[in-house]
Amino acid sequence: MSDFTVRPITDAERRPLYDVLQRALHRSPVTDQRWARITGSVRADGKIGAFAEDLPIGLASSLPTAMTVPGGASVPMAAVNGVAVRADWTRRGVLTAMMDAQLREFTERGYTVAGLDASETAIYGRFGYGVAIRAATIDVKHPAQVGEGARVSGTVRILDGDDALVAARTVYDRIGYRRTGMIARPDDWWEISYSRSIEVDGYRLAVHTGPDGDDGFALYRTVPQRTHAEPFLGALVEVEDLIANDAATVAALWQFLLSIDLVSTVHASGRPVDEEVGVLLTDPRRARTTDVKDQLWLRLVDVPAALAARTYSDADPVVIEVHDRMLPANNGRYRTGPGGAERTGATADLELDVDTLAMLYLGEWRPALLALAGRITGADEKTLARTETLFRTEQNPWCGTDF
Ligand SMILES: CC(=O)SCCNC(=O)CCNC(=O)[C@H](O)C(C)(C)COP(=O)(O)OP(=O)(O)OC[C@H]1O[C@@H](n2cnc3c(N)ncnc32)[C@H](O)[C@@H]1OP(=O)(O)O
């Protein structure tokens, strides 16, 4: 018998469990002032707690949202956003018990998928999450400037505090989550995460205005780099969020970020892997992609619904056999082709675990590579090529929301 219990939390348990999360992420416990600001958005609903008798020892939170899938439909998604176990209770199965309870809750609530941003890569595969989106870190070193011929226009203004929060929400809602992998940003996420970036971490918002009004923004802060040894070293510009309605607005926001004086480097993480900043510059080598890593770990909670929600390119269907240890209702074979996806009794063309299906689902990974890694079995080269055609997407998926 385990010496802890896992269950939905009450209102009174929110703050102590929020502090379990803060501590696990090496942040200070929340202040009374900050709690007063966010308390309405830190809801008990969607939170699973772990308790040793009355002691709160673990938390797994989620927010309801929706994600755009290939073809443009959006599916109900649980954004898993606050997972922590007290340091004196780790490696005793607390997270495993919370993940199990959470997945059962997601099924009951009718979520098609769940997603998370993993603190470490070794944790979530065992629960059926796979890396469905990768993102790039881009560093631009000064002197760097956007070339004169670049098609950038419009104006940029800087906002702070609540004005920044309101403007970012308004522009995001206006642009929408159009690209595959983007999500609707939940109200509570704006109130907790975005307000922390602005109020606690000192970020400001550069809002771009084009011919039809505000159409993009960059959330950024400047961090001094000067030392006694290097008294003239310029500041670092850290870009946390950059959203725009089209590529020209993305370019205009980069132009603004590169125009800030007394800066040595502009650093942006979580960018789309196809965001080519270098080509905009007079010297392309000033921009470097310094990292490409997992951005979104996706869990297909309802495999039949997920497979049916996206579109497929033109190729003969494949029969995919899916294995799901934690949600056995997903086990089975699915005929997947341009006409859609449905359960079948036919012989499988390929087999995979549900985390690998998540890696395929948004078009991030080539099936041949997944077969090479031993993640797809039973498929010959022709089947893998067919699967690639079916699942291929025109543009790389990108989430862009750090939840
Ligand atoms: C979506 C997000 O919020 S990401 C943020 C996640 N939170 C953090 O990183 C905060 C700091 N860390 C923690 O709070 C905890 O260590 C957690 C939540 C990561 C893990 O909680 P635990 O209760 O220790 O996990 P649990 O005991 O259920 O471990 C399950 C398995 O995962 C493995 N595991 C858990 N954490 C890690 C890790 N950080 N690295 C490698 N393996 C891990 C365990 O070894 C175990 O494997 P086993 O079944 O083969 O023995």
pLDDT (tens, 9 = 90+) of the chain, 403 residues, equals 579 999 999 999 999 999 999 999 999 999 999 999 999 999 999 999 999 999 999 999 999 999 999 999 999 999 999 999 999 999 999 999 999 999 999 999 999 999 999 999 999 999 999 999 999 999 999 999 999 999 999 999 999 999 999 999 999 999 999 999 999 999 999 999 999 999 999 999 999 999 999 999 999 999 999 999 999 999 999 999 999 999 999 999 999 999 999 999 999 999 999 999 999 999 999 999 999 999 999 999 999 999 999 999 999 999 999 999 999 999 999 999 999 999 999 999 999 999 999 999 999 999 999 999 999 999 999 999 999 999 999 999 999 999 9
Binding-site residues from annotation: 83-85, 91-96, 119-120
Q: Are residues 145 and 283 in the same domain?
A: yes
What residues have CB less than 8 Å from 318, skipping those under 6 apart? 335, 336, 337, 349, 350, 383, 386, 387, 390
Domain count, the chain: 3
120 lines ligand 1 (CB under 6 A): yes
Predicted local confidence at residue 233, as pLDDT: 96
Q: Are residues 189 and 210 in the same domain?
A: yes
115 lines ligand 1 (CB under 6 A): no
Query: Ligand 1 pocket test: which of 85, 99, 325 has the largest number of ligand atoms within 8 Å of its C-beta?
Result: 85
Q: Is 130 left (phi over 0), alpha (psi -120 to 50) or beta?
A: beta
Ligand 1 centroid distance, CA of 95 (Å): 6
Ligand 1 centroid distance, CA of 60 (Å): 12
Q: Is residue 201 part of a domain?
A: yes
Helix (H) or strand (E) holding 189: helix 187-189
6 lines ligand 1 (CB under 6 A): no
Q: Are residues 30 and 149 in the same domain?
A: no
- Active-site positions read 124, 403
> Range of 157's domain?
136-292
CATH code for the domain in which residue 240 is found: 3.40.630.30
CA max distance for the chain: 71
Map tokens 């419009």 to a residue: 154
Phi, psi of 314 (to 5 degrees): -85, 110
Residue where a domain terminates, one of 112, 128, 144: 128
Q: Are residues 188 and 288 in the same domain?
A: yes
206 lines ligand 1 (CB under 6 A): no
Atom of ligand 1 at shortest range from CA of 86:
14
The one-letter amino acid at 191: E
Q: Are residues 46 and 189 in the same domain?
A: no
* Paired tokens of 273: 């892997």
Predicted local confidence at residue 181, as pLDDT: 98
Q: Are residues 274 and 143 in the same domain?
A: yes
Query: Ligand 1 pocket test: which of 86, 91, 298 has the largest number of ligand atoms within 8 Å of its C-beta?
Result: 91
Q: Are residues 261 and 307 in the same domain?
A: no
- Write down the ipTM of this complex: 0.97
Q: Are residues 263 and 191 in the same domain?
A: yes
Q: Are residues 28 and 96 in the same domain?
A: yes
83 lines ligand 1 (CB under 6 A): yes
Nearest CA to ligand 1 atom 51: 91
Checking DSSP bridges between strand 318-323 and strand 350-353, what pairing results, if any? parallel
Judge contact between 188 and 69, C-beta under 8 A.
no
Q: Is residue 297 part of a domain?
A: no
Predicted local confidence at residue 238, as pLDDT: 98
Predicted local confidence at residue 134, as pLDDT: 98
Residue where a domain terminates, one of 292, 323, 351: 292
Q: Are residues 83 and 205 in the same domain?
A: no
